[in-house]
């Protein structure tokens, strides 16, 4: 056998990193780069006369080297995923992974309905119960859901535990290990799946694979050469080139007409041995083929000065040349984690770190207050991004360069004016936080044609009657992992649901509309079931406008949340005189207190609360009181952001409703409270 195990192990690693391009198009790595690391590990790993020991030394050194080198080019959110893929890939090579179990861990299984009733709906969600039932079909979890039904109090302890991934499972399941144990954690406490994955990686690899290396620009530079570009893959809030300056560095921000100038700068620099920094390559996609040609034909060992370096910065883009990505050294440098770390980073960065700049302002007291306020604001903008749509609907851009410009601007205005120009500074600094909307095509009936035709064609392709095209192959692969195919999503209403839940939701929407056609309009409308919600709201307003001859521009809605919706014989068994009853909303960031009939704080481990039936009460907006309320936005999905459609409406934002509150509005704004038309599960 000789060194064959090293070759087999290395091939597994290469295919693991090749798969990363499916996560992010910037994650590209060449075979040449891989082989160079392979040769480096052979040379640098501990030598031994014992063949088995020598093989083990090479494998361990090379695996860790691959992990560290790839990690520096990954965003933080993808590093643990890479560790998991690496671990599972190596285990698959040793035939230690049951593919059925692995697929279930990723998707939770796929099914449209669950014939078994939930034994504890007061704390166990229907989604979790459905996964428990489906998991019982796995080899080592046979009889799982029956045991849960019969021992619900024992499993409640796991659900309530602060560290369920560490606790012992109820007998006889305490012998479960690895992926089977992680599936149990996924079913009961998906919020603890990340630490469970970390434990799994440590158990099968070692601690180093859950501790990615810190950003090291100097170390990356040492690994570079004159013919390999150094590529910064940017994330909002980071600008790794902010402190790069000097007489031997030329910087240009790419955009319209800047390509030829950049080419001239590179041509001079490769002769003189200086550095060129090309910023924002994602904004010059039409010039990228030219840059690719320059890297392949001009920047060669024969005619390039040994000290020359080409630095590129770009946000993730599928138009970035693959050959440059594969042959370059890629790095990511995301903003510091935490308010304190972010503040410290700002004060230690240029220009604030320059004692002359910091200490020579003509208004030192005002200057230092402004400086702290601005850096704190910058840290807050960055930190809120970690909380997804609860932090910002859209991940706002306010990076180190923006901060540096704002700081210099404040300093200049304070020195140039006797009075502090507060309004001017507020306007100039605030202008960095712009959101740009763009048109997006609305949902059409073509959706159903696409779904039907693709399913029919997949069946034909599997029978060999037609060729399996790339589009059909994508649909088929998406269905295997429980993901909504891209072909469907491009024609769909906004949804983040997995495939099984998506199909169930789609069928429910169709049934809602069919019932309306067959049985007249419902007493209570399922607001979430409309493909174009704004048209329904406009219709309610128009009915009121015609009835009372009031211009529709003057009409708005008041909102009454119904405490108890009376049965068919009661008060709400008939249509309202004006307006409409609606249902189907979920509240995130807070809950609806059905006793006090006010917004209340969320209960532990309950992320979403369903709202009761709401009465939309149209009226003249000028007569509304707007007292003791929270203006709560409604979104179609939990991303809470969309684009401007051709109708002039957002593709995600629906409207805002006024909910009774015994706390000031800012209390709920800080918690990011909003209503959603649908959940992600």
End-to-end CA distance of the chain: 49
Structure confidence at residue 441 (pLDDT): 33
**pLDDT tens for residues 477-487?**
998 888 999 88
Spatial contact of 50 and 58, defined as CB atoms under 8 Å apart: no
pLDDT of residue 114 exceeding 90, the answer is no
Q: Which residues contact 358 (CB under 8 A, 6 or more apart)?
A: 351, 352
Spatial contact of 505 and 562, defined as CB atoms under 8 Å apart: no
Structure confidence at residue 427 (pLDDT): 67
Structure confidence at residue 332 (pLDDT): 87
Q: Is 453 left (phi over 0), alpha (psi -120 to 50) or beta?
A: alpha
Q: Read off the pLDDT band of 567 (50, 70, 90).
A: very low
Q: How far is CA 120 from CA 136, 149, 151, 159, 657, in A?
A: 18, 9, 11, 12, 33
Structure confidence at residue 181 (pLDDT): 95
pLDDT of residue 199 exceeding 90, the answer is yes
Cα–Cα distance between 69 and 72 in angstroms, integer? 6
Structure confidence at residue 433 (pLDDT): 38
Q: How many CB atoms lie within 10 A of CB 310?
A: 27
**pLDDT, greater one: 344 or 129:** 129
Residue ranges of the domains in the chain? 100-210, 217-331, 339-430, 456-489, 499-676
Q: Read off the pLDDT of each residue in 416-432 and give the average, rounded to a whole number.
A: 73
Spatial contact of 41 and 69, defined as CB atoms under 8 Å apart: no
Largest CA-CA distance found in the chain, in angstroms, rounded: 96
Into which CATH architecture does domain 499-676 fall? Roll (3.10)
What is the H or E stretch that residue 615 is in? strand 614-620
Q: Read off the pLDDT band of 46 (50, 70, 90).
A: very high
The phi and psi torsions of 614 (rounded to 5 degrees) equal: -115, 135
Matching residue, tokens 């209390």: 667
**pLDDT, greater one: 370 or 215:** 370
Cα–Cα distance between 525 and 529 in angstroms, integer? 8
Query: For residue 632, what are the β-bridge partners?
Result: 657
Structure confidence at residue 242 (pLDDT): 61
Task: Give pTM, 2 decimals.
Answer: 0.64
Identify each DSSP E strand in 122-237 by its residue range.
Answer: 230-233
Spatial contact of 591 and 606, defined as CB atoms under 8 Å apart: yes
Structure confidence at residue 434 (pLDDT): 36
Q: How far is CA 170 from CA 68, 140, 188, in A?
A: 38, 15, 13
Q: How many CB atoms lie within 10 A of CB 546?
A: 10
Structural fold of domain 217-331: Rossmann fold (3.40.50)
Structure confidence at residue 236 (pLDDT): 67
Full 3-state SS string of 9-49: HHHHHHHHHHHHHHCCCCCCCCHHHHHHHHHHHHHHCCCCC
pLDDT of residue 195 exceeding 90, the answer is yes
Full 3-state SS string of 276-333: EEEECHHHCHHHHHHHHHHHHHHCCCCCCCCCCEEEEEECCCCCCCHHHHHHCEEECC
**Alpha-carbon torsion 492, 497, 503, 509, what sign?**
negative
Full 3-state SS string of 505-569: HHHHHHHHHHHHHHHCCCCEEEHHHCCCHHHHHHHHHHHHHHHHCCCHHHEEEEEEECCCCCCCC
**Alpha-carbon torsion 615, 618, 624, 626, what sign?**
positive
Spatial contact of 120 and 151, defined as CB atoms under 8 Å apart: no
Q: Is 527 left (phi over 0), alpha (psi -120 to 50) or beta?
A: alpha
Q: Read off the pLDDT band of 20 (50, 70, 90).
A: very high
Q: Read off the pLDDT band of 152 (50, 70, 90).
A: very high
| 229 burial type by CB count under 10 A (0-12 exposed, 13-18 middle, 19+ buried) | buried
Q: Read off the pLDDT of each residue in 45-62 and give the average, rounded to a whole number.
A: 93
Least confidently predicted of 54-58, 230-234, 332-336, 451-455: 332-336
Concatenating the DSSP letter of every residue in 162-189 gives S-TTTSPPSTTGGG--HHHHHHHHHHH-
Nearest to 68, CA basis, from 184, 205, 193, 212: 212
Q: How many CB atoms lie within 10 A of CB 421?
A: 15
Structure confidence at residue 444 (pLDDT): 42
Is 3.40.50.300 the CATH classification of the domain at 339-430? no
Average confidence score pLDDT of the chain: 86
- Using DSSP's 3-state secondary structure scheme, residue 335 falls into coil
Least confidently predicted of 41-45, 270-274, 395-399: 395-399
Q: How far is CA 21 from CA 201, 257, 469, in A?
A: 22, 30, 21
């Amino acid at each position: 056998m000789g060194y064959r195990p090293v070759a087999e192990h290395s091939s597994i690693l290469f295919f693991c990193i090749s798969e990363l391009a499916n996560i992010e198009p910037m994650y590209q790595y060449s075979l040449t780069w891989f082989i160079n690391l392979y040769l480096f590990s052979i040379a640098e790993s501990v030598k031994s006369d014992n063949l088995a020991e020598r093989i083990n030394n090479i494998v361990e050194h090379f695996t860790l080297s691959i992990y560290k080198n790839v990690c520096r080019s990954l965003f933080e959110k993808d590093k643990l995923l890479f560790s998991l893929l690496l671990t599972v890939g190596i285990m698959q090579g040793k035939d230690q992974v049951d593919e059925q179990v692995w697929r279930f861990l990723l998707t939770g299984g796929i099914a449209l309905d669950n014939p078994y009733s939930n034994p504890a709906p007061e704390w166990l969600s229907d989604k979790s119960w459905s996964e428990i039932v489906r998991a019982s079909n796995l080899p080592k979890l046979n009889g799982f859901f029956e045991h849960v039904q019969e021992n619900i109090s024992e499993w409640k302890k796991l659900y309530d535990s602060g560290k369920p991934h560490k606790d012992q499972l109820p007998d006889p399941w305490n012998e479960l290990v690895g992926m089977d144990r992680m599936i149990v954690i996924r079913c009961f406490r998906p919020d603890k799946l990340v630490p469970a994955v970390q434990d799994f990686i440590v158990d099968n690899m070692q601690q180093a694979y859950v501790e990615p290396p810190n950003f090291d620009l100097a170390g990356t530079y040492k690994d570079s050469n004159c013919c390999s570009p150094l590529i910064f893959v940017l994330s909002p809030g980071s600008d790794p080139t902010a402190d790069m300056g000097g007489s031997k560095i030329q910087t240009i921000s790419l955009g319209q007409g800047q390509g030829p100038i950049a080419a001239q700068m590179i041509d001079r620099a490769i002769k003189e041995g200086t550095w060129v920094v090309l910023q924002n390559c994602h904004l010059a996609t039409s010039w990228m083929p030219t840059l690719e040609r320059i890297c392949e034909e001009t920047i060669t060992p024969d005619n390039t000065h040994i000290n020359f370096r080409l630095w590129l910065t770009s946000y993730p883009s599928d138009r970035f040349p693959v050959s440059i990505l594969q042959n370059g050294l890629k790095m990511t440098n995301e903003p510091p984690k935490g308010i304190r770390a972010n503040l410290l980073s700002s004060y230690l960065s240029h220009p604030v770190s320059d004692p002359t700049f910091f200490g020579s302002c003509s208004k030192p007291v005002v200057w230092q207050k402004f400086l702290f306020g601005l850096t704190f604001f910058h840290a807050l903008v960055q930190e809120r991004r970690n909380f997804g749509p609860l932090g910002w609907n859209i991940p706002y851009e306010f990076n180190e360069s923006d901060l540096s410009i704002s700081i210099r601007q404040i300093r200049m205005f304070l020195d140039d004016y006797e009075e502090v120009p507060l309004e001017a500074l507020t306007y100039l600094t605030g202008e960095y936080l712009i959101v740009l909307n763009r048109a997006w095509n609305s949902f059409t009936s073509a959706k159903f044609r696409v779904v039907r035709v693709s399913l029919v064609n997949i069946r034909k392709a599997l029978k060999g009657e037609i060729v399996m095209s790339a589009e059909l192959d994508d649909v088929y692969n998406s269905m295997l992992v429980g993901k909504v195919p891209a072909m469907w999503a491009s024609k769909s209403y906004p949804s983040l649901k997995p495939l099984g839940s998506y199909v169930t939701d789609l069928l429910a929407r169709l049934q809602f509309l069919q019932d309306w056609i067959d049985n007249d309009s419902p007493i209570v409308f399922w607001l979430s079931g409309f493909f174009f919600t704004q048209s329904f709201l406009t219709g309610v307003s128009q009915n009121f406008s015609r009835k009372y001859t009031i211009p529709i521009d003057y009409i708005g809605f008041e909102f009454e949340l119904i405490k108890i919706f009376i049965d068919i014989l009661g008060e709400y068994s008939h249509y309202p005189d004006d307006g409409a009853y609606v249902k189907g909303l979920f509240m995130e960031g807070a809950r609806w207190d059905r006793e006090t009939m006010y917004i209340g704080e969320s209960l532990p481990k309950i992320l979403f609360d369903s709202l009761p039936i709401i009465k939309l009460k149209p009226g003249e907006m000028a007569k509304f009181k707007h007292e003791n309320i929270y203006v709560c936005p409604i979104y179609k999905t939990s991303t809470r952001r969309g684009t401007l459609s051709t109708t002039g409406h957002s593709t995600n934002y629906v409207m805002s409703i006024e909910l009774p509150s015994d706390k000031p509005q800012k209390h709920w704004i800080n918690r990011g409270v909003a209503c959603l038309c649908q959940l992600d599960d």
